[in-house]
Structure 1
Amino acid sequence: MNTQDGGHYDAAVDALAAREYETAGDRYTRGGRRVLADPRPDLDPFEPDEKGWTGQGLQQLLMAAVAYRVAGADRRATQRAVEGIAATRDFQRVLDAPGQGACLAEFVADFRVAGELEGPEKAYDDAAERYAVVGDEVDSPQALATTPLFGAAAATIKQVARGQANGEIAVTWEDLHGPDPSQAGDFLAHRARYKKQRFAGLVAGAIADGHLAAPRGTTEYGNETRRCPACGSNDVNWAGTDVLCMRCSTPTEEV
Protein backbone atom coordinates (compact mmCIF):
# COMPACT_ATOMS: atom_id res chain seq x y z
CA MET A 1 0.00 0.00 0.00
CA ASN A 2 1.19 3.51 -0.77
CA THR A 3 -1.34 5.46 1.28
CA GLN A 4 -1.59 6.39 4.95
CA ASP A 5 -3.79 3.71 6.50
CA GLY A 6 -2.34 3.69 10.02
CA GLY A 7 -1.25 0.06 9.77
CA HIS A 8 -4.82 -1.20 9.54
CA TYR A 9 -4.30 -2.87 6.16
CA ASP A 10 -1.48 -5.07 7.50
CA ALA A 11 -3.54 -5.80 10.60
CA ALA A 12 -6.42 -6.88 8.37
CA VAL A 13 -4.15 -9.28 6.49
CA ASP A 14 -2.88 -10.66 9.81
CA ALA A 15 -6.50 -11.25 10.86
CA LEU A 16 -7.20 -13.09 7.58
CA ALA A 17 -4.22 -15.35 8.31
CA ALA A 18 -5.69 -16.09 11.74
CA ARG A 19 -9.12 -16.84 10.14
CA GLU A 20 -10.60 -13.95 12.14
CA TYR A 21 -12.69 -12.60 9.31
CA GLU A 22 -14.89 -10.18 11.19
CA THR A 23 -11.80 -8.64 12.78
CA ALA A 24 -10.32 -8.40 9.30
CA GLY A 25 -13.46 -6.57 8.17
CA ASP A 26 -13.11 -4.14 11.07
CA ARG A 27 -9.48 -3.43 10.24
CA TYR A 28 -10.17 -2.99 6.54
CA THR A 29 -12.96 -0.58 7.49
CA ARG A 30 -10.68 1.50 9.69
CA GLY A 31 -7.95 1.53 7.06
CA GLY A 32 -10.35 2.45 4.29
CA ARG A 33 -11.86 5.34 6.19
CA ARG A 34 -8.44 6.66 7.10
CA VAL A 35 -7.22 6.57 3.50
CA LEU A 36 -10.36 8.28 2.23
CA ALA A 37 -9.94 11.04 4.79
CA ASP A 38 -6.20 11.62 4.38
CA PRO A 39 -4.69 9.45 1.62
CA ARG A 40 -1.22 11.02 1.33
CA PRO A 41 0.54 14.03 2.87
CA ASP A 42 0.48 15.93 -0.41
CA LEU A 43 -3.07 15.04 -1.47
CA ASP A 44 -6.47 16.53 -0.71
CA PRO A 45 -9.01 13.76 -1.43
CA PHE A 46 -11.51 16.32 -2.70
CA GLU A 47 -9.17 17.63 -5.37
CA PRO A 48 -8.62 16.05 -8.81
CA ASP A 49 -5.93 13.37 -8.80
CA GLU A 50 -4.89 11.73 -12.05
CA LYS A 51 -3.62 8.66 -10.18
CA GLY A 52 -6.68 8.17 -8.00
CA TRP A 53 -5.00 7.27 -4.71
CA THR A 54 -8.32 7.32 -2.86
CA GLY A 55 -9.15 4.13 -4.74
CA GLN A 56 -7.05 2.28 -2.19
CA GLY A 57 -9.44 3.44 0.52
CA LEU A 58 -12.43 2.25 -1.50
CA GLN A 59 -10.71 -1.10 -2.00
CA GLN A 60 -10.30 -1.56 1.75
CA LEU A 61 -14.01 -0.88 2.30
CA LEU A 62 -14.79 -3.39 -0.45
CA MET A 63 -12.56 -6.01 1.16
CA ALA A 64 -14.24 -5.27 4.49
CA ALA A 65 -17.62 -6.12 2.96
CA VAL A 66 -16.29 -9.40 1.56
CA ALA A 67 -14.61 -10.31 4.86
CA TYR A 68 -17.85 -9.69 6.75
CA ARG A 69 -19.72 -11.93 4.29
CA VAL A 70 -17.24 -14.76 4.87
CA ALA A 71 -17.58 -14.21 8.63
CA GLY A 72 -21.35 -14.53 8.35
CA ALA A 73 -21.86 -10.88 9.36
CA ASP A 74 -24.11 -10.17 6.40
CA ARG A 75 -25.75 -7.06 7.83
CA ARG A 76 -22.37 -5.46 8.42
CA ALA A 77 -21.34 -6.37 4.88
CA THR A 78 -24.40 -4.60 3.53
CA GLN A 79 -23.73 -1.54 5.67
CA ARG A 80 -20.15 -1.38 4.46
CA ALA A 81 -21.20 -1.72 0.84
CA VAL A 82 -23.73 1.11 1.21
CA GLU A 83 -20.99 3.23 2.79
CA GLY A 84 -18.61 2.35 -0.05
CA ILE A 85 -21.12 3.28 -2.73
CA ALA A 86 -21.81 6.62 -1.06
CA ALA A 87 -18.09 7.41 -0.88
CA THR A 88 -17.55 6.29 -4.46
CA ARG A 89 -20.31 8.50 -5.78
CA ASP A 90 -18.87 11.43 -3.84
CA PHE A 91 -15.47 10.94 -5.47
CA GLN A 92 -17.07 10.85 -8.90
CA ARG A 93 -17.37 14.62 -8.51
CA VAL A 94 -13.61 15.12 -8.29
CA LEU A 95 -11.92 12.19 -10.07
CA ASP A 96 -12.72 13.45 -13.53
CA ALA A 97 -9.74 12.39 -15.65
CA PRO A 98 -10.70 10.25 -18.68
CA GLY A 99 -11.75 6.79 -17.56
CA GLN A 100 -11.81 7.50 -13.84
CA GLY A 101 -15.57 7.91 -13.65
CA ALA A 102 -16.05 4.57 -15.36
CA CYS A 103 -13.65 2.92 -12.92
CA LEU A 104 -15.61 4.35 -10.01
CA ALA A 105 -18.79 2.96 -11.60
CA GLU A 106 -16.98 -0.40 -11.65
CA PHE A 107 -16.41 -0.01 -7.90
CA VAL A 108 -20.13 0.66 -7.39
CA ALA A 109 -20.94 -2.64 -9.09
CA ASP A 110 -18.36 -4.47 -6.96
CA PHE A 111 -19.89 -3.03 -3.78
CA ARG A 112 -23.32 -4.21 -4.90
CA VAL A 113 -21.96 -7.75 -5.25
CA ALA A 114 -20.03 -7.70 -1.97
CA GLY A 115 -22.94 -6.30 0.02
CA GLU A 116 -25.57 -8.46 -1.69
CA LEU A 117 -27.38 -5.36 -2.88
CA GLU A 118 -29.74 -5.17 -5.83
CA GLY A 119 -28.64 -4.40 -9.35
CA PRO A 120 -24.98 -5.45 -9.75
CA GLU A 121 -25.50 -6.61 -13.32
CA LYS A 122 -26.98 -3.27 -14.34
CA ALA A 123 -24.16 -1.48 -12.52
CA TYR A 124 -21.52 -3.46 -14.42
CA ASP A 125 -23.30 -2.67 -17.68
CA ASP A 126 -23.25 1.01 -16.73
CA ALA A 127 -19.50 0.86 -16.07
CA ALA A 128 -18.86 -0.85 -19.43
CA GLU A 129 -20.92 1.78 -21.23
CA ARG A 130 -19.00 4.56 -19.51
CA TYR A 131 -15.71 3.03 -20.64
CA ALA A 132 -16.99 2.81 -24.20
CA VAL A 133 -18.04 6.46 -24.20
CA VAL A 134 -14.68 7.79 -22.97
CA GLY A 135 -12.51 5.39 -24.96
CA ASP A 136 -11.45 8.02 -27.50
CA GLU A 137 -10.27 10.31 -24.70
CA VAL A 138 -7.85 7.74 -23.24
CA ASP A 139 -4.38 8.01 -24.77
CA SER A 140 -2.91 4.86 -23.20
CA PRO A 141 -5.36 2.41 -21.62
CA GLN A 142 -2.46 0.21 -20.46
CA ALA A 143 -0.94 3.09 -18.49
CA LEU A 144 -4.32 4.09 -17.11
CA ALA A 145 -4.98 0.53 -15.96
CA THR A 146 -1.77 0.56 -13.87
CA THR A 147 -2.70 3.69 -11.88
CA PRO A 148 -3.56 3.26 -8.17
CA LEU A 149 -7.29 3.72 -8.81
CA PHE A 150 -7.49 0.98 -11.42
CA GLY A 151 -5.14 -1.29 -9.49
CA ALA A 152 -7.35 -0.93 -6.43
CA ALA A 153 -10.44 -1.76 -8.47
CA ALA A 154 -8.78 -4.99 -9.62
CA ALA A 155 -7.31 -6.02 -6.27
CA THR A 156 -10.35 -7.51 -4.55
CA ILE A 157 -11.40 -9.93 -7.27
CA LYS A 158 -7.78 -11.08 -7.55
CA GLN A 159 -7.55 -11.69 -3.81
CA VAL A 160 -10.85 -13.53 -3.55
CA ALA A 161 -10.01 -15.71 -6.55
CA ARG A 162 -6.62 -16.87 -5.28
CA GLY A 163 -8.25 -18.47 -2.26
CA GLN A 164 -10.00 -20.87 -4.63
CA ALA A 165 -6.92 -21.49 -6.80
CA ASN A 166 -4.47 -22.96 -4.28
CA GLY A 167 -2.99 -19.51 -3.76
CA GLU A 168 -1.97 -18.99 -7.37
CA ILE A 169 -2.79 -15.98 -9.53
CA ALA A 170 -6.28 -16.81 -10.73
CA VAL A 171 -7.27 -13.50 -12.34
CA THR A 172 -4.66 -12.15 -14.72
CA TRP A 173 -4.18 -8.90 -16.59
CA GLU A 174 -5.33 -10.69 -19.75
CA ASP A 175 -8.49 -11.87 -17.99
CA LEU A 176 -9.44 -8.36 -16.92
CA HIS A 177 -8.62 -6.44 -20.08
CA GLY A 178 -9.53 -6.74 -23.72
CA PRO A 179 -7.11 -8.07 -26.33
CA ASP A 180 -6.61 -4.82 -28.29
CA PRO A 181 -5.39 -1.74 -26.39
CA SER A 182 -5.75 0.33 -29.55
CA GLN A 183 -9.50 0.06 -28.88
CA ALA A 184 -9.35 1.75 -25.50
CA GLY A 185 -13.07 1.62 -24.75
CA ASP A 186 -13.40 -2.13 -25.30
CA PHE A 187 -10.03 -2.80 -23.67
CA LEU A 188 -11.20 -1.20 -20.42
CA ALA A 189 -14.87 -2.20 -20.63
CA HIS A 190 -13.75 -5.82 -20.54
CA ARG A 191 -12.96 -5.30 -16.84
CA ALA A 192 -16.62 -4.70 -16.03
CA ARG A 193 -17.85 -7.50 -18.28
CA TYR A 194 -15.43 -9.99 -16.75
CA LYS A 195 -16.40 -9.05 -13.21
CA LYS A 196 -20.09 -9.30 -14.11
CA GLN A 197 -19.46 -12.93 -15.04
CA ARG A 198 -17.10 -13.92 -12.24
CA PHE A 199 -17.09 -11.76 -9.10
CA ALA A 200 -20.38 -12.88 -7.52
CA GLY A 201 -19.48 -16.54 -8.00
CA LEU A 202 -16.06 -16.04 -6.46
CA VAL A 203 -17.53 -14.30 -3.42
CA ALA A 204 -20.07 -17.11 -3.07
CA GLY A 205 -17.25 -19.64 -3.28
CA ALA A 206 -15.30 -17.92 -0.51
CA ILE A 207 -18.40 -17.91 1.69
CA ALA A 208 -19.05 -21.60 1.01
CA ASP A 209 -15.42 -22.44 1.79
CA GLY A 210 -15.38 -20.25 4.88
CA HIS A 211 -12.02 -18.99 3.72
CA LEU A 212 -10.73 -15.67 2.42
CA ALA A 213 -7.13 -15.66 1.24
CA ALA A 214 -4.58 -13.02 2.08
CA PRO A 215 -3.51 -10.81 -0.83
CA ARG A 216 -0.55 -12.01 -2.84
CA GLY A 217 2.58 -10.07 -1.94
CA THR A 218 6.17 -11.09 -2.61
CA THR A 219 6.23 -14.86 -3.08
CA GLU A 220 8.80 -17.65 -3.21
CA TYR A 221 8.39 -21.26 -4.21
CA GLY A 222 10.30 -23.90 -2.26
CA ASN A 223 11.60 -21.72 0.57
CA GLU A 224 14.14 -23.75 2.55
CA THR A 225 13.64 -22.03 5.91
CA ARG A 226 9.83 -21.80 6.27
CA ARG A 227 7.05 -24.38 6.28
CA CYS A 228 3.29 -24.19 6.76
CA PRO A 229 2.10 -25.97 9.93
CA ALA A 230 -1.36 -26.46 8.39
CA CYS A 231 -0.68 -27.92 4.95
CA GLY A 232 3.08 -28.55 4.92
CA SER A 233 3.83 -26.29 1.95
CA ASN A 234 7.09 -24.37 1.77
CA ASP A 235 5.80 -21.94 -0.85
CA VAL A 236 5.61 -18.61 0.96
CA ASN A 237 3.96 -15.22 0.66
CA TRP A 238 5.19 -12.08 2.39
CA ALA A 239 1.94 -10.29 3.26
CA GLY A 240 0.78 -8.33 6.28
CA THR A 241 3.41 -8.44 9.02
CA ASP A 242 4.24 -12.15 8.68
CA VAL A 243 5.45 -14.77 6.22
CA LEU A 244 2.35 -16.65 5.15
CA CYS A 245 1.78 -19.88 3.33
CA MET A 246 1.15 -19.14 -0.34
CA ARG A 247 -1.35 -22.00 -0.47
CA CYS A 248 -3.62 -21.47 2.54
CA SER A 249 -2.50 -18.11 4.04
CA THR A 250 -1.52 -19.68 7.38
CA PRO A 251 1.49 -18.06 9.12
CA THR A 252 4.53 -20.22 8.39
CA GLU A 253 7.08 -21.51 10.89
CA GLU A 254 10.86 -21.64 10.74
CA VAL A 255 12.40 -25.06 10.12
Structure 2
Amino acid sequence: MDTDADARVAAGVTALSERSTERAGDEFTRAAWLSLADPRSDEELSPFADEDRGWVGEGLRWLVVAAVSYRVAGREARASRRGVEGIAVARDLQTTRSHPAQRACLDEFVADFRVAAGMDDADAAYRTAADAYREAGDAVDDPHRLATSPLFRAAAAPIEQVARGPANGEIAVEWDDLHGSDPSDPGAFLARRATYKRQRFPSLLDRVVDAGRLAAPRGTTEYGNDSFRCPDCDSTDVNWIAGRTLCLRCSAPMARA
Protein backbone atom coordinates (compact mmCIF):
# COMPACT_ATOMS: atom_id res chain seq x y z
CA MET A 1 0.00 0.00 0.00
CA ASP A 2 1.43 3.36 -1.03
CA THR A 3 1.59 6.01 1.68
CA ASP A 4 1.93 9.79 1.71
CA ALA A 5 5.65 9.27 2.32
CA ASP A 6 5.87 7.05 -0.77
CA ALA A 7 4.28 9.83 -2.82
CA ARG A 8 6.87 12.30 -1.60
CA VAL A 9 9.70 9.87 -2.39
CA ALA A 10 8.28 9.51 -5.90
CA ALA A 11 8.17 13.29 -6.22
CA GLY A 12 11.80 13.46 -5.08
CA VAL A 13 12.85 10.85 -7.63
CA THR A 14 11.02 12.81 -10.32
CA ALA A 15 12.86 15.96 -9.28
CA LEU A 16 16.21 14.17 -9.52
CA SER A 17 15.32 12.92 -12.98
CA GLU A 18 14.57 16.51 -13.99
CA ARG A 19 17.87 17.76 -12.49
CA SER A 20 15.94 19.84 -9.96
CA THR A 21 18.08 18.80 -7.03
CA GLU A 22 16.95 21.39 -4.50
CA ARG A 23 13.32 20.43 -5.13
CA ALA A 24 14.37 16.81 -4.62
CA GLY A 25 15.78 17.81 -1.25
CA ASP A 26 12.46 19.39 -0.34
CA GLU A 27 10.52 16.29 -1.33
CA PHE A 28 12.87 13.90 0.46
CA THR A 29 12.61 16.10 3.55
CA ARG A 30 8.84 15.80 3.45
CA ALA A 31 9.15 12.03 2.97
CA ALA A 32 11.45 11.87 5.99
CA TRP A 33 9.11 13.83 8.23
CA LEU A 34 6.13 11.69 7.22
CA SER A 35 8.07 8.45 7.69
CA LEU A 36 9.42 9.46 11.07
CA ALA A 37 5.99 10.47 12.33
CA ASP A 38 4.32 7.29 11.12
CA PRO A 39 6.88 4.60 10.27
CA ARG A 40 4.29 1.84 9.76
CA SER A 41 0.97 3.50 9.02
CA ASP A 42 -0.83 0.18 8.59
CA GLU A 43 0.22 -0.86 12.10
CA GLU A 44 -0.02 2.49 13.92
CA LEU A 45 3.54 1.98 15.11
CA SER A 46 5.07 4.74 17.20
CA PRO A 47 8.50 5.93 16.08
CA PHE A 48 9.53 5.65 19.72
CA ALA A 49 8.56 1.99 20.02
CA ASP A 50 11.45 -0.22 21.08
CA GLU A 51 10.94 -2.79 18.32
CA ASP A 52 13.51 -5.09 16.78
CA ARG A 53 13.17 -4.12 13.09
CA GLY A 54 13.86 -0.39 13.21
CA TRP A 55 11.17 0.92 10.88
CA VAL A 56 12.18 4.51 11.68
CA GLY A 57 15.22 3.95 9.50
CA GLU A 58 13.41 5.03 6.34
CA GLY A 59 12.78 8.48 7.76
CA LEU A 60 16.43 8.88 8.68
CA ARG A 61 17.46 7.61 5.26
CA TRP A 62 15.50 10.31 3.47
CA LEU A 63 16.85 13.02 5.75
CA VAL A 64 20.37 11.95 4.75
CA VAL A 65 19.40 11.95 1.06
CA ALA A 66 17.75 15.35 1.50
CA ALA A 67 21.00 16.74 2.92
CA VAL A 68 22.93 15.22 0.02
CA SER A 69 20.47 16.74 -2.46
CA TYR A 70 20.91 20.20 -0.99
CA ARG A 71 24.70 19.80 -1.10
CA VAL A 72 24.55 18.86 -4.78
CA ALA A 73 22.27 21.84 -5.41
CA GLY A 74 24.79 24.17 -3.78
CA ARG A 75 22.48 24.93 -0.86
CA GLU A 76 24.99 24.37 1.91
CA ALA A 77 22.98 26.04 4.66
CA ARG A 78 19.95 23.88 3.99
CA ALA A 79 22.13 20.77 3.93
CA SER A 80 23.59 21.78 7.28
CA ARG A 81 20.14 22.21 8.79
CA ARG A 82 19.16 18.70 7.67
CA GLY A 83 22.35 17.38 9.21
CA VAL A 84 21.69 19.07 12.54
CA GLU A 85 18.09 17.88 12.45
CA GLY A 86 19.05 14.32 11.58
CA ILE A 87 21.66 14.07 14.31
CA ALA A 88 19.15 15.34 16.87
CA VAL A 89 16.55 12.80 15.76
CA ALA A 90 19.03 9.92 15.75
CA ARG A 91 20.29 10.83 19.21
CA ASP A 92 16.75 11.05 20.56
CA LEU A 93 15.83 7.68 19.04
CA GLN A 94 18.88 6.13 20.70
CA THR A 95 17.30 6.82 24.08
CA THR A 96 14.29 4.68 23.11
CA ARG A 97 16.24 1.62 21.87
CA SER A 98 17.35 -1.15 24.21
CA HIS A 99 19.43 -3.17 21.74
CA PRO A 100 23.03 -1.93 21.62
CA ALA A 101 23.43 -2.81 17.92
CA GLN A 102 20.47 -0.62 17.00
CA ARG A 103 21.99 2.19 19.03
CA ALA A 104 25.26 1.63 17.16
CA CYS A 105 23.40 1.87 13.85
CA LEU A 106 22.03 5.21 14.97
CA ASP A 107 25.63 6.25 15.68
CA GLU A 108 26.34 5.25 12.07
CA PHE A 109 23.50 7.51 10.94
CA VAL A 110 24.97 10.38 12.97
CA ALA A 111 28.22 10.00 11.03
CA ASP A 112 26.31 9.82 7.74
CA PHE A 113 24.57 13.09 8.55
CA ARG A 114 27.92 14.72 9.22
CA VAL A 115 29.21 13.64 5.81
CA ALA A 116 26.00 14.46 3.94
CA ALA A 117 25.77 17.93 5.46
CA GLY A 118 29.48 18.74 5.10
CA MET A 119 29.93 18.97 8.87
CA ASP A 120 33.11 18.47 10.87
CA ASP A 121 34.09 15.37 12.85
CA ALA A 122 32.63 12.74 10.51
CA ASP A 123 35.77 10.62 10.83
CA ALA A 124 35.50 10.54 14.62
CA ALA A 125 31.77 9.82 14.40
CA TYR A 126 32.37 6.75 12.24
CA ARG A 127 35.03 5.54 14.65
CA THR A 128 32.53 5.94 17.48
CA ALA A 129 29.99 3.87 15.53
CA ALA A 130 32.55 1.15 14.78
CA ASP A 131 33.50 0.94 18.46
CA ALA A 132 29.82 0.75 19.42
CA TYR A 133 29.28 -2.14 17.01
CA ARG A 134 32.24 -4.04 18.43
CA GLU A 135 30.94 -3.54 21.95
CA ALA A 136 27.46 -4.70 20.86
CA GLY A 137 28.75 -7.92 19.29
CA ASP A 138 27.96 -10.17 22.24
CA ALA A 139 24.30 -9.08 22.10
CA VAL A 140 23.89 -10.05 18.42
CA ASP A 141 22.67 -13.60 17.76
CA ASP A 142 22.19 -13.33 13.99
CA PRO A 143 24.20 -10.55 12.32
CA HIS A 144 22.78 -11.33 8.87
CA ARG A 145 19.21 -10.88 10.07
CA LEU A 146 20.15 -7.68 11.86
CA ALA A 147 22.04 -6.26 8.88
CA THR A 148 19.04 -6.86 6.61
CA SER A 149 16.51 -5.33 9.00
CA PRO A 150 14.85 -2.05 7.94
CA LEU A 151 17.04 0.15 10.15
CA PHE A 152 20.29 -1.27 8.81
CA ARG A 153 19.11 -1.40 5.19
CA ALA A 154 18.04 2.23 5.46
CA ALA A 155 21.47 3.19 6.79
CA ALA A 156 23.14 1.51 3.81
CA ALA A 157 20.91 3.13 1.18
CA PRO A 158 22.33 6.69 0.98
CA ILE A 159 25.92 5.66 0.22
CA GLU A 160 24.61 3.11 -2.28
CA GLN A 161 22.64 5.85 -4.04
CA VAL A 162 25.49 8.35 -4.00
CA ALA A 163 27.90 5.76 -5.39
CA ARG A 164 25.72 5.07 -8.43
CA GLY A 165 26.56 8.35 -10.15
CA PRO A 166 30.33 7.90 -10.43
CA ALA A 167 29.74 4.24 -11.40
CA ASN A 168 27.59 4.97 -14.47
CA GLY A 169 24.47 3.84 -12.62
CA GLU A 170 25.79 0.46 -11.56
CA ILE A 171 25.88 -1.02 -8.06
CA ALA A 172 29.14 0.33 -6.69
CA VAL A 173 28.73 -0.51 -3.00
CA GLU A 174 28.14 -4.21 -2.42
CA TRP A 175 27.08 -6.17 0.66
CA ASP A 176 30.63 -7.49 1.06
CA ASP A 177 31.99 -3.94 1.02
CA LEU A 178 29.84 -2.94 3.97
CA HIS A 179 30.28 -6.04 6.12
CA GLY A 180 33.13 -8.08 7.44
CA SER A 181 33.97 -11.51 6.12
CA ASP A 182 33.25 -13.42 9.32
CA PRO A 183 29.67 -13.28 10.67
CA SER A 184 30.78 -15.48 13.56
CA ASP A 185 32.30 -12.28 14.95
CA PRO A 186 29.20 -10.05 14.89
CA GLY A 187 30.91 -6.99 16.31
CA ALA A 188 33.61 -6.87 13.66
CA PHE A 189 31.14 -7.90 10.95
CA LEU A 190 28.93 -4.89 11.67
CA ALA A 191 31.76 -2.48 12.49
CA ARG A 192 32.93 -2.86 8.90
CA ARG A 193 29.94 -0.74 7.85
CA ALA A 194 31.23 2.30 9.70
CA THR A 195 34.84 1.70 8.70
CA TYR A 196 33.99 1.39 5.00
CA LYS A 197 31.84 4.51 5.06
CA ARG A 198 34.55 6.45 6.86
CA GLN A 199 36.94 5.55 4.07
CA ARG A 200 34.62 5.99 1.09
CA PHE A 201 31.51 8.11 1.71
CA PRO A 202 33.20 11.55 1.89
CA SER A 203 35.13 11.10 -1.36
CA LEU A 204 32.14 9.63 -3.18
CA LEU A 205 29.99 12.55 -2.13
CA ASP A 206 32.66 15.04 -3.15
CA ARG A 207 32.62 13.56 -6.66
CA VAL A 208 28.84 13.83 -6.86
CA VAL A 209 28.84 17.41 -5.58
CA ASP A 210 31.52 18.34 -8.11
CA ALA A 211 29.48 16.74 -10.90
CA GLY A 212 26.33 18.56 -9.77
CA ARG A 213 24.18 15.50 -10.29
CA LEU A 214 22.72 12.95 -7.86
CA ALA A 215 21.55 9.62 -9.26
CA ALA A 216 18.14 8.27 -8.35
CA PRO A 217 18.03 5.20 -6.12
CA ARG A 218 18.31 1.90 -7.93
CA GLY A 219 15.12 -0.12 -8.22
CA THR A 220 14.18 -2.88 -10.66
CA THR A 221 16.49 -2.81 -13.66
CA GLU A 222 16.73 -4.24 -17.14
CA TYR A 223 19.59 -4.01 -19.60
CA GLY A 224 19.12 -3.51 -23.32
CA ASN A 225 15.35 -3.00 -23.32
CA ASP A 226 14.75 -1.74 -26.85
CA SER A 227 11.27 -0.54 -25.91
CA PHE A 228 12.86 2.40 -24.12
CA ARG A 229 15.56 4.87 -25.05
CA CYS A 230 17.11 7.63 -22.98
CA PRO A 231 16.71 11.04 -24.64
CA ASP A 232 19.86 12.29 -22.90
CA CYS A 233 22.43 9.52 -23.35
CA ASP A 234 20.71 7.12 -25.79
CA SER A 235 20.93 4.16 -23.37
CA THR A 236 18.37 1.35 -23.43
CA ASP A 237 19.16 0.26 -19.85
CA VAL A 238 16.17 0.93 -17.60
CA ASN A 239 15.69 1.63 -13.89
CA TRP A 240 12.14 1.36 -12.54
CA ILE A 241 11.99 3.16 -9.20
CA ALA A 242 9.15 4.75 -7.19
CA GLY A 243 6.73 4.30 -10.08
CA ARG A 244 9.04 6.09 -12.49
CA THR A 245 10.84 4.75 -15.56
CA LEU A 246 14.33 6.20 -15.62
CA CYS A 247 17.57 5.68 -17.45
CA LEU A 248 19.79 3.32 -15.49
CA ARG A 249 22.83 5.31 -16.59
CA CYS A 250 21.94 8.96 -16.05
CA SER A 251 18.55 8.87 -14.24
CA ALA A 252 16.79 10.87 -16.96
CA PRO A 253 13.14 10.00 -17.66
CA MET A 254 13.00 7.25 -20.27
CA ALA A 255 10.85 7.58 -23.36
CA ARG A 256 9.40 4.66 -25.29
CA ALA A 257 11.44 4.02 -28.39
Which TM-score band (shorter chain)? over 0.9
Amino acid at match of 1:186: A
Is 2:191 aligned against 1:171? no
CA contact (8 A) 1:89 1:104 kept: yes
What is the alpha-carbon distance in structure 2 between the residues aligned to residue 83 and residue 40 of structure 1? 21
Amino acid at match of 2:39: P
What is the CA deviation profile of residues 131-153 of structure 1, one whole-angstrom value per residue up to 9, with x for unaligned ones?
Answer: 00010110011110000000000
Q: How does 1:148-163 map to 2 (within 5 A)?
A: 148-163=150-165
CA contact (8 A) 1:176 1:194 kept: yes
Gap change, CA 1:189 and 1:2, over 3 Å in 2: farther
What is the alpha-carbon distance in structure 2 between the residues aligned to residue 232 and residue 96 of structure 1? 51
Question: Which residue of the other structure, out of 223, 233, 236, is the alignment partner of 2:225?
Answer: 223
Which 10-residue stretch deviates more, 65-74 or 44-53? Answer: 44-53
2:32 alignment partner in structure 1: 32
Deviation at 1:97, TM superposition (A): 2.2
What is the CA deviation profile of residues 81-120 of structure 1, one whole-angstrom value per residue up to 9, with x for unaligned ones?
Answer: 0000000011101122241000000000000111111111
5+ long unaligned stretches in structure 2: none
2:197 alignment partner in structure 1: 195
Deviation at 1:39, TM superposition (A): 1.2
2:8 alignment partner in structure 1: 8
Deviation at 1:3, TM superposition (A): 6.7
Q: How many residues align?
A: 255
Q: How does 1:1-255 map to 2 (within 5 A)?
A: 5=5, 7-41=7-41, 42=43, 43-255=45-257
Deviation at 1:240, TM superposition (A): 2.8
The TM-score normalised by the length of structure 1 is 0.97
What is the alpha-carbon distance in structure 1 between the residues aligned to residue 14 and residue 224 of structure 2? 22
The TM-score normalised by the length of structure 2 is 0.97
CA contact (8 A) 1:5 1:39 kept: no
CA contact (8 A) 2:6 2:242 kept: no
5+ long unaligned stretches in structure 1: none
RMSD, matched Cα: 1.3
What is the CA deviation profile of residues 31-60 of structure 1, one whole-angstrom value per residue up to 9, with x for unaligned ones?
Answer: 101111111132111111211010100000
Structure 1: 4+ residue segments shifted above 2 A: 1-4, 95-98
